[in-house]
Amino acid sequence: MHRLHVNGHDMAYVARGTGVPLLLLHGAMCDLRYWAPQMEAFGRRYRAIAPSSLSGLSCQPMSLPVLVWRVWAPFAGVPARPERHTSR
């Protein structure tokens, strides 16, 4: 397991392989270990990246959209999208 400081947050993650990034996100009651059985297979074809959400092994609360667009998209080389706010 690795730790990475991205956009002001410490993130725990594992990565395998090279090539096109494949971001593997786990559910709310899991952490990066959820993807352990698949990491080797995905790593043969992609750069498989399995982070722990900031409420998991990383221990900093963050919503999924914030996690994806502010933290993992830049790490995976995806251009950031503009923030969108809607009122209900």
The average pLDDT across 43-55 equals: 85
Whether residue 28 is contained in a domain is answered as yes
Q: Looking at the domain assignment, is residue 66 inside a domain?
A: yes
What's the pLDDT score for residue 52? 82
Rg over alpha carbons for the chain, rounded to the nearest Å, is: 13
pLDDT of res. 44: 96
Q: How many domains does the chain have?
A: 1
Residue 15 resides in a domain: yes
| pLDDT at res. 71 | 65
Taking residues 14-19, what's their average pLDDT?
Answer: 93
Residue 53's Cβ-count burial label (10 Å; 0-12, 13-18, 19+) is buried
Q: Specify if 35 maps to a domain.
A: yes
Q: Where are the beta strands (DSSP E) in 1-88?
A: 2-6, 9-16, 21-23, 47-51
Q: Which domain holds residue 27?
A: 2-76
Does the structure show a pLDDT above 80 at 80? no
Indicate whether 82 belongs to any domain. Answer: no
C-alpha to C-alpha distance for 67 and 54, rounded to whole angstroms: 8
In which band, very low, low, confident or very high, does the pLDDT at 88 lie, cut at 50, 70 and 90? very low
Could you tell me if residue 14 is inside a domain?
yes
The answer to whether residue 52 sits within a structural domain is yes
Residue 54: is it exposed, middle or buried by C-beta count within 10 angstroms (0-12/13-18/19+)? buried
